[in-house]
Amino acid sequence: MINTSQLKSVALLNFTGVAQNPEYWNWRHDADWVEAEVKYWYRRFYSETRTGQLMVLRPDKPILYEYRGADSLWDMELATIRKAYYLLWAVFALLVAIAFLAVKDLMAGVAGAFSSKVLVLAWQTRKGGRLS
């Protein structure tokens, strides 16, 4: 059985005129959207087609539009390795603090320093893995 008090709170949305209003359908023609779409297709071309991959490997280094080369990938890998390195040292300092209670304050400070270094690296590489 339907509760009539619930029916009073139901509201229907009115979408009349949405299909005729061009304002709702022009979002794909913004300059930012077009630029993002061009970048997407260039990157997909270089990564997924044989022709694009051969262009990247050519020895005469042609102009490649919107291509993120191996340098940017190496930067991302290097930043990730650096973060892991500092995290391992922070964990090591915490393990020493647990094992040797006499130096726990010192090791907690060392672990905090390495952890703060990881946070700084994470902040610097927040956009695409590149150091800013």
| Judgement on whether residues 88 and 125 belong to the same structural domain of the protein | yes
What's the domain range around 118? Answer: 69-132
At 88-108, the pLDDT tens digits run 989 999 888 888 888 888 988
Concatenated DSSP letters for 2-53? --HHHHTT------TTTTT-GGGTGGGGSHHHHHHHHHHHHHHHHHHSHHHH
| Judgement on whether residues 75 and 35 belong to the same structural domain of the protein | no
Q: How far is residue 127's CA from residue 105's CA, in Å, rounded to a whole number?
A: 35
| 61: confidence class by pLDDT, cuts 50, 70, 90 | confident
| Judgement on whether residues 26 and 73 belong to the same structural domain of the protein | no
| Judgement on whether residues 78 and 114 belong to the same structural domain of the protein | yes
Q: How far is residue 43's CA from residue 129's CA, in Å, rounded to a whole number?
A: 17
| Judgement on whether residues 128 and 88 belong to the same structural domain of the protein | yes
Q: Tokens in use for 34? A: 């077009």
Domain count for the chain: 2
| Judgement on whether residues 128 and 106 belong to the same structural domain of the protein | yes
At 30-55, the pLDDT tens digits run 778 888 888 888 888 877 888 888 88
